[in-house]
């Protein structure tokens, strides 16, 4: 019927093959998930035979993909992500040379010897019973050149401590220092090592004893995009009270230094987590609350309320000394009495009643008890962080994992004081959580860096701990953004291999963009703010952007250092991307570089199919018109042809 040009079928076939091949290489064969919710893909990810708790989530080989390290007694097992096969490969293992009978209480994978590769900091407890318990921290560094092997040499450095330590860039050199206590006195350990060597110099600093377990954090509480220090301390005059102390880094290392602010908090306040809960550009606190003793029934959000100065107009990062966190007049009160607000306080809070027996300490192994922690993530990618917890049933029959969604609220029933946000338990699509027996802990992360907050759950204890991988298949027509700031011990950004896996704790990211209503929004995030008691910090920060049709207008990154310029701004970044900030040289912000890796949207295949379908639909009238033109041309040619006589 149609007169088709000879080359057109081959062109169309080539185009279809190209589209299919491109989609295959962009999207490796991922496990199928047909429900709008969470899917269990443990077997597909190669974790069905895995045993032992997850003790570190990191980018061990520096390939920009997330790997897992698990613990089996004193043996570490490394699972490397394979982007081509969409699975974890391994494991490879190594036995840690710790003293016989010692118990491993904590583990952190970061770069302690300043060579751009990850090392391990281990906290152990001696088998000799002492009061208080004798704890030791040790650093094991990488050996060998193979990035895909878990090779560690004997301990390069060790020290006695009272509790697990905080890893942070305290002295502003771009390397990782330590903060903790020994014999109830505060200490910082300054990283003095050259690349390939560990050297920590202890220094006593001022301050009252820290609350146990330690939950100190490096965050930005005053809006200047530079890390400060927040500690939970015992009262200087009344050891029975807890206080939140807010320190600038300059004052931390001053023997006579004083905090910028100190506020009384609830005596039952647990491990701190940090996120921009209300998406206003300030970091807020979220933590479980123990009341009565032994029951973690409540979750408390303390909102960071800042009064913006006129001089900060148009600036993303601007120091504000008028930050506020709510101070409780009666720290020992029943949290239920706080649910009724008499007007909105200057600094607001939100208290959530879990309506269960509470979270309860988790036994990671039969002898290791991990304090409960609120695990933050943005599963619906709307720009408002959600959380996951493991709570106990009221009848004492076990535990259950729960997913809680961050939602807007304008009702008094939300028990919100000073904010328009609340959290509601997510049931739709979360049925897989109910089928996991004896869950103990979990964490959000992204499989294959695709841009969704997936889940890893740990069930059981000790060597019998089983990991469940849950893929987030909630349909979210939204964008995301991931950021990572590396350590600053290199001289330039062209070193090979680049230290993509060596993230620097306390790096601050802040950016702005416009939503579909053309309303400007601002978000802030902090990289690895805490490290002790199996914080399981990710090597990157994941931000949901919600629905937007614009670029990230302003993006600013800040590192604490001793120079005046501590931040750098970039303009017009692309959403659905992974960003790396390489701060080389560390004390010259003007030379810091940014690398961006764009992740294809999950609907790229459907867009490609729509394009091909649209081309085929357009081809029909084109071919029809082409045929009609040929017919008319042939008739016209015959009409003009001379008459032939025989």
The 10s digit of each residue's pLDDT in 99-112 is: 777 788 889 999 99
- pLDDT score recorded for residue 638: 84
User: Does the pLDDT of residue 5 top 50, yes or no?
Assistant: no
pLDDT category, 579, cuts 50, 70, 90?
A: very high
Task: Name the 3-class secondary structure at 55.
Answer: strand
Residue 501: which of 155, 141, 117 has the closest Cα? 117
- pLDDT score recorded for residue 52: 86
Mean pLDDT computed over 425-434? 89
Mean pLDDT computed over 156-161? 89
> Per CATH, which fold does 37-480 belong to?
Methylamine Dehydrogenase; Chain H (2.130.10)
- pLDDT score recorded for residue 26: 52
Query: Mean of the per-residue pLDDT values for the chain?
Result: 84
**pLDDT tens digits, 235-288:** 777 767 889 999 999 888 777 788 888 888 888 899 999 999 999 899 999 999
Structural tokens at position 569: 């701004």
271-272-273 Cα angle (round to 5): 125
78 contacts 93 by C-beta, under 8 angstroms: yes
- pLDDT score recorded for residue 104: 86
> Cα–Cα distance between 140 and 155 in angstroms, integer?
5
Report field, pTM of the whole predicted structure over 0.85: yes
> Cα–Cα distance between 387 and 91 in angstroms, integer?
29
581: left (phi over 0), alpha (psi -120 to 50) or beta: beta
**pLDDT tens digits, 375-410:** 999 999 999 999 999 987 766 667 889 999 999 887
Please name every residue paired with 259 in a beta bridge, in sequence order, or none if there are none: none
Residue 258: which of 270, 272, 268, 243 has the closest Cα? 243
Place of tokens 């084109």: 622
Within 8 A by CB and 6+ apart from 643, the residues are none
160 contacts 489 by C-beta, under 8 angstroms: no
User: Does the pLDDT of residue 617 top 60, yes or no?
Assistant: yes
> Cα–Cα distance between 134 and 161 in angstroms, integer?
7
> Cα–Cα distance between 622 and 567 in angstroms, integer?
56
| Domain ranges, ordered by start, for the chain | 37-480, 481-598
579 contacts 592 by C-beta, under 8 angstroms: no
Structural tokens at position 424: 């509601």
Q: Which residue has the higher pLDDT, 270 or 149?
A: 270
Which stretches of 230-310 are DSSP H helices?
249-252
- pLDDT score recorded for residue 395: 62
- pLDDT score recorded for residue 231: 94
Within 8 A by CB and 6+ apart from 243, the residues are 232, 233, 234, 235, 262, 263, 264, 265
Q: Write out the DSSP string of 157-199.
A: EEEEESSPPEEE--SSSSS-EEEEEETTEEEEEEE-PPTT---
pLDDT > 90 in the chain, percent: 38
> Cα–Cα distance between 546 and 526 in angstroms, integer?
20
């Amino acid at each position: 019927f149609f007169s088709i040009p000879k080359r057109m079928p081959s062109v169309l076939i080539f185009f279809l093959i190209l589209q299919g091949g491109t989609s295959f290489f962009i999207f490796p064969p991922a496990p199928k998930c047909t429900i709008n919710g969470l899917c269990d893909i443990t077997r597909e990810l190669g974790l069905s035979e895995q045993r032992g708790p997850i003790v570190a989530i990191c980018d061990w080989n520096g390939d920009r993909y997330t790997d897992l390290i698990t613990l089996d007694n004193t043996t570490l097992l490394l699972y490397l992500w394979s982007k081509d096969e969409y699975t974890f490969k391994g494991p490879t293992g190594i036995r840690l040379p710790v003293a016989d009978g010692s118990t491993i209480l904590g583990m952190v994978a970061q770069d302690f010897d300043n060579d751009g590769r990850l090392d391990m900091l281990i906290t152990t407890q001696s088998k000799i019973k002492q009061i208080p318990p004798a704890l030791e921290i040790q650093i094991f560094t990488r050996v060998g050149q193979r990035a895909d092997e878990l090779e560690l040499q004997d301990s390069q450095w060790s020290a006695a401590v009272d509790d697990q330590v905080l890893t942070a860039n305290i002295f502003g050199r771009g390397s990782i220092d330590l903060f903790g206590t020994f014999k109830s006195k505060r200490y910082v350990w300054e990283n003095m090592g050259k690349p390939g060597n560990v050297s920590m110099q202890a220094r006593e600093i001022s301050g009252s004893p820290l609350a146990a377990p330690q939950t100190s954090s490096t965050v930005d509480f005053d809006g200047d995009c530079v890390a400060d220090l927040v500690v939970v301390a015992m009262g200087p005059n009344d050891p029975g009270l807890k206080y939140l102390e807010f320190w600038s880094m300059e004052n931390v290392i001053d023997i006579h230094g004083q905090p910028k602010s100190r506020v009384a908090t609830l005596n039952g306040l647990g491990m701190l987590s940090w996120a921009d809960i209300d998406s206003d550009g300030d970091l807020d606190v979220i933590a479980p609350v123990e009341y009565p003793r032994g029951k973690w029934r409540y979750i408390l959000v303390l909102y960071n309320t800042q009064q913006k100065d006129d001089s900060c107009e148009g600036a993303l990062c601007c120091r504000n000394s008028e930050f506020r966190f709510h101070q409780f007049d009666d720290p020992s009160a029943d949290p239920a009495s706080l649910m009724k607000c008499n007007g909105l306080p200057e600094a607001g809070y939100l208290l959530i009643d879990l309506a269960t027996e509470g979270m309860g300490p988790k036994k990671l192994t039969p002898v290791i008890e991990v304090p409960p922690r609120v695990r933050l993530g943005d599963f619906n990618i709307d720009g408002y962080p959600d959380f996951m917890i493991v709570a106990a049933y009221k009848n004492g029959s076990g535990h259950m994992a729960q997913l809680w969604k961050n939602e807007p609220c304008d009702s008094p029933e939300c028990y919100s004081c000073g904010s328009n946000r609340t959290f509601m338990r997510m049931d739709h699509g979360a049925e897989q959580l109910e089928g996991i027996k004896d869950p103990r802990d979990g964490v959000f992360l992204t499989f294959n860096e695709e841009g969704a907050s997936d889940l890893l759950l740990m069930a059981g204890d000790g060597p019998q701990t089983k990991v469940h991988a849950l893929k987030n298949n909630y349909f979210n027509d939204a964008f995301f953004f991931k950021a990572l700031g590396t350590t600053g011990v290199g001289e330039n950004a062209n070193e090979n291999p680049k230290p993509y896996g060596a993230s620097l704790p306390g790096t601050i990211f802040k950016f702005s963009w416009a939503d579909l209503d053309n309303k400007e929004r601002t978000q802030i995030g902090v990289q690895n703010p805490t490290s002790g008691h199996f914080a399981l910090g990710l090597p990157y920060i994941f931000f949901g952007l919600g629905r937007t049709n614009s670029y990230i207008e302003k993006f600013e990154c800040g590192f604490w250092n001793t120079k005046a310029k501590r931040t750098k701004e970039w303009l017009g970044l692309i959403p659905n991307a992974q960003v790396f900030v390489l701060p080389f040289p560390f004390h010259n912000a003007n030379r810091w570089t940014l690398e961006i890796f764009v992740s294809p949207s999950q609907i790229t295949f459907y867009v490609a199919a729509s394009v091909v379908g649209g081309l085929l639909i357009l081809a029909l009238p084109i071919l029809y018109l082409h045929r009609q033109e040929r017919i008319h041309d042939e008739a016209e040619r015959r009409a003009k042809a001379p008459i032939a006589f025989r």
